[in-house]
Amino acid sequence: MRIGVAVLALAAIASGCTQGGGDRVTPAGGQQPLDAPAARALDSYASRLRAAHAARVAAARHWGLRKVPFTAPQAPARKPRVRTREGFEVDGHRRLDLPPVFTTVPTRDKVVFLTIDDGAEKDPAFLRMMSDLEIPYSAFLSGYLVKDDHRYFERMQSRGVVLNNHTLRHRYLRNLPYGVQQREICGMQGFLERRYGTRPTLFRPPYGSYDGATLRAAKSCGIEYVPLWNQEVFPDHWEYREGDRALRPGDIVLTHFRGRGQWKGTMPDMIRRFLNKVTAEGYAVGRLEDYL
């Protein structure tokens, strides 16, 4: 759409060019004339848009997508108010002002959010694919899986991906003592700060399992949000939380850093399935942190 607007504007400018060969360009419609430098700047902008679109078309073709993915809208200036999903509360949730637990972000934007857990697979083709296609995603990392290849996640972070908390050792937290849970969560906060210079505000409990102690510990460690998921994508199928098996605006989609050793395919295979579906249904992929 932006390319079309720029091209139409250029056509209007061209149709009103003065005949005297001066350095002024008169747009159609009786508007104020533009200096030639302004017209050249507009032409340059349109050229950049065309080149960016051509690059996305080429990347989609290279990675075997059926269609070019939609570009997400700009981050909302006014963030949605996120509440804990009904049935996901713990005792004292509101009274203690514990982080909200949710599977969907309330928005009218036709976007979904891709989140990727743990860090076991370090596939360089996945990084290239996501960079080529300019698809945002959020990583939820476990320390014991990350520490054998820090640089892989440094490259990810350098491309704008937020590295979030998924505990140190990926333990099943529910019913563990508060102190154990706090060490798992706060310990990962410290790990991420030392290694990557960041203390995230998003935390996902392993297996999506938590209790009141989990959320109290998370809050004590600086966590503000606990996003779970509404769908999960694999290279060969999808799984749904809702019975109607439908995508909705703001849905959070889970997947994992996995490869052929655990899956029937690679991470690029999984991304291909994900993008083909969301694009066919008219959705763009947004950046979760932009909505929180």
Taking the chain (292 residues) in consecutive chunks of 10 residues, what is each chunk's mean pLDDT?
Answer: 47 41 47 70 82 90 97 94 97 97 97 98 97 97 95 96 98 98 98 97 98 98 98 96 94 97 95 98 97 96
Structure tokens at 65: 């997508």
Residue 1: the pLDDT is 47
Note whether 84 and 43 are same-domain residues: no
Confirm if 104 and 246 have CB atoms less than 8 A apart.
no
Identity of the residue numbered 269: D
- Domain membership of residue 241 (yes or no) is yes
Q: Indicate the helix (H) or strand (E) that contains 89.
A: none
- Domain membership of residue 157 (yes or no) is yes
Let me know the angle formed at the C-alpha of 275 by 64 and 239, rounded to the nearest 5 degrees: 125
Total domains, the chain: 2
Residue 14: the pLDDT is 42
Structure tokens at 9: 């504007």
User: Which segments within the chain are labelled E, that is strand?
Assistant: 24-25, 34-35, 101-102, 111-118, 138-141, 162-165, 226-227, 231-233, 238-240, 252-256, 284-286
Confirm if 253 and 114 have CB atoms less than 8 A apart.
yes
d(CA 45, CA 38): 11
User: Which segments within 129-264 are labelled E, that is strand?
Assistant: 138-141, 162-165, 226-227, 231-233, 238-240, 252-256
Percent of the chain clearing pLDDT 70 (strictly above): 88
Note whether 101 and 217 are same-domain residues: yes
- Domain membership of residue 66 (yes or no) is no
- Domain membership of residue 68 (yes or no) is no
Other beta carbons less than 10 A from residue 64's beta carbon: 12
pTM of the prediction? 0.85
Q: What is the CA radius of gyration of the chain?
A: 23
d(CA 222, CA 45): 42
Note whether 90 and 164 are same-domain residues: yes
Residue-number span of the structural domain to which 18 is assigned: 2-60
Note whether 201 and 114 are same-domain residues: yes
Note whether 95 and 143 are same-domain residues: yes
**pLDDT, tens only, 77-136:** 999 999 999 999 999 999 999 999 999 999 999 999 999 999 999 999 999 999 999 999
* 32, 60, 88 - which closes a domain: 60
- Domain membership of residue 49 (yes or no) is yes
Span between the terminal Cα atoms of the chain, in Å: 28
* 10, 37, 60 - which closes a domain: 60
C-alpha closest to that of 57 among 67, 43, 49: 67
Residue 34: the pLDDT is 61
Q: Tell me the angle at which helices 124-133 and 267-280 cross, rounded to the nearest 10 degrees.
A: 30
Residue 100: the pLDDT is 98
Parallel, antiparallel or unpaired: strands 24-25 and 101-102: unpaired
Note whether 199 and 263 are same-domain residues: yes
- Domain membership of residue 140 (yes or no) is yes
Residue 8: the pLDDT is 45
Q: What is the CATH number of the domain that holds 181?
A: 3.20.20.370
Note whether 80 and 52 are same-domain residues: no
Q: Is 260 helix (H, G, I), strand (E, B) or coil?
A: coil
Note whether 9 and 117 are same-domain residues: no
Structure tokens at 190: 């410290």
Confirm if 110 and 283 have CB atoms less than 8 A apart.
yes
- Domain membership of residue 194 (yes or no) is yes
- Domain membership of residue 67 (yes or no) is no
* 33, 60, 87 - which closes a domain: 60
